[in-house]
Amino acid sequence: MEFHQVSIALAVALTSIIAYPLAIHLWLGWKRKADDVILSMSPESAKMYLSTFQDIKAVELKDALKEFRKFYHSWYGRKYLIFLVFIAVFAALIISYLMSDTVLYSLQDINGIKVDRSKYIGLPPTGIAAAAGAYGFAAWGIIWRTARLSLSVLDILGVTIRLAIAIPLGYAFASLSKDFAPFIAFAVGAFPLETVETILQRLANKHLGVEMGASASKDQVTELSCVDREIADRLQDADITTVCQLAYCDPVQTCMRTNLSFAFTSDICAQALAWIYLGDKLTEFRVLGLRGAVEFYSLCEGLESKDDDIRIMANAILKKAANVVSVSPEEFHKVATEIGYDPYTIFLAETWPELREAEQAAESVAIAPAEPVTTAELSG
């Protein structure tokens, strides 16, 4: 009985390694993510979002932030994470107990202590290797993503499934080579589920003589600045694989489904809006300060500005940009207007901090009361 108590204690200790970062994410990480999105909204941008992406028209400006917060909590509230965290911790507890009980039985057997084999689980080498590999890489994945504030619902569910199928999956791969069975069973724990799926599809294709499953075609979203393979994979998890999909996606939902920051999601959405008009030429506009659709919005606003200096600068940029694509300034002005005044661009511009601060500063100057004129100034 004493050794079984040790097994339970070890299992609880191993489970806590996964449970702790999950609890941190549930308590602090979720709030940090919620603040990242909610605090990015002004009343105007919240009203525009609800109208544009959720088709909620009848919202007063004064109630827009309250309604947006209500929408956010109804879709991505903390309550949805509680059950997911529970089942992930439960799966970790089961796999941890299997490992602990097996290790204690093996230690007693090695030390010549006679024990009743039927009272212990005692997984064979391939089974314990598969369990240890899945647990180790799952725990590290949870810790790593929690530290980076990038843990998503998909990650938690993926870890749960990964732990649940660890042993049979390990045996399936280990059957490919009996000489290295435990090593293969352990190593397969390092593969994410989508990689395992691709490997299994390719093995099935080879042995069954059929062609089906995942391909390695080039992903358009990687053409955008700062979108690497890892970011593209996270976007693909949100069912976004092309630039056009990214351009006209719901940025708030994309932010939540990929767990990318809202500012970064807005930036790549803005790039995508400009890319669908300019293609790979967009890279040549960055030296002119035209990185994405939000900058084209600023250019269009500058062309209509009442400030002579701002208008002159905007016209100079317009002419240089027109030369890049070998069109007249008037023709490029049309393109810039289509990009800059797209409804999706206007929403992104409303949530962009620098633009919002500039607009608020301009409004405060416009409505500032004039200084009283003194009697001395009147007489002068």
Residue 329 structure tokens: 């300034």
C-alpha distances (whole Å) from 336 to each of 167, 282, 340 are: 57, 12, 6
**Does 286 share its domain with 196?**
no
Among 208, 242, 260, the domain boundary falls at: 208
Q: Is residue 377 part of a domain?
A: no
Q: Which residues contact 46 (CB under 8 A, 6 or more apart)?
A: 64, 65, 67, 68
Return the DSSP state at 63: G
Please, are residues 92 and 138 in contact by the beta-carbon 8 Å criterion?
A: yes
Res 329: pLDDT: 92
Res 115: pLDDT: 65
Q: Is residue 54 part of a domain?
A: yes
Amino acid letter, residue 335: V
**Does 255 share its domain with 344?**
yes
Q: For the chain, 380 residues long, give each residue's pLDDT as a single digit of tens.
A: 456 778 889 999 999 999 999 999 998 888 888 898 998 888 989 999 998 888 887 888 889 999 999 999 998 888 889 999 999 999 999 999 998 888 877 777 676 667 666 666 778 889 999 999 999 999 998 999 898 888 888 889 989 999 999 999 889 888 888 888 889 999 887 777 777 777 776 666 666 665 544 444 444 888 898 888 888 888 988 889 899 999 999 999 999 888 888 989 999 999 999 999 999 899 999 999 999 999 999 999 999 999 999 999 999 999 999 999 999 999 999 999 999 999 999 999 988 865 555 444 444 444 444 444 444 433 33
Considering only the C-alpha atoms of the chain, give the largest distance between any 2 of them, rounded to a whole number of Å.
112
Closest CA to 71 of 62, 83, 84, 59: 59
Rounded Cα distance, 248 and 339, in Å: 12
Q: Is residue 217 part of a domain?
A: no
Rounded Cα distance, 362 and 368, in Å: 10
**Does 183 share its domain with 229?**
no
Rounded Cα distance, 138 and 189, in Å: 8
Range of the structural domain that residue 292 is part of: 224-364
Res 118: pLDDT: 64
**Does 138 share its domain with 280?**
no
Res 215: pLDDT: 44
**Does 256 share its domain with 346?**
yes
Cα 162 from chain centroid (whole Å): 20
Question: What is the four-CA torsion angle of 22, 95, 233, 339, rounded to 10 degrees?
Answer: -30
**Does 262 share its domain with 172?**
no
Amino acid letter, residue 173: F
pTM: 0.72
Res 217: pLDDT: 45
Amino acid letter, residue 197: E
Q: Which residues contact 93 (CB under 8 A, 6 or more apart)?
A: 11, 12, 15
**Does 124 share its domain with 257?**
no
Rounded Cα distance, 92 and 17, in Å: 9
Q: Is residue 375 part of a domain?
A: no
**Does 117 share its domain with 60?**
yes
SS3 helix, strand, coil % of the chain, rounded to 5?
75, 0, 25
**Does 177 share its domain with 140?**
yes
Q: Helix H segments across 259-374? A: 262-278, 282-285, 293-303, 308-324, 329-340, 343-351, 353-367
Number of domains observed in the structure of the chain: 2
**Does 330 share its domain with 279?**
yes
Return the DSSP state at 292: S
Res 245: pLDDT: 92
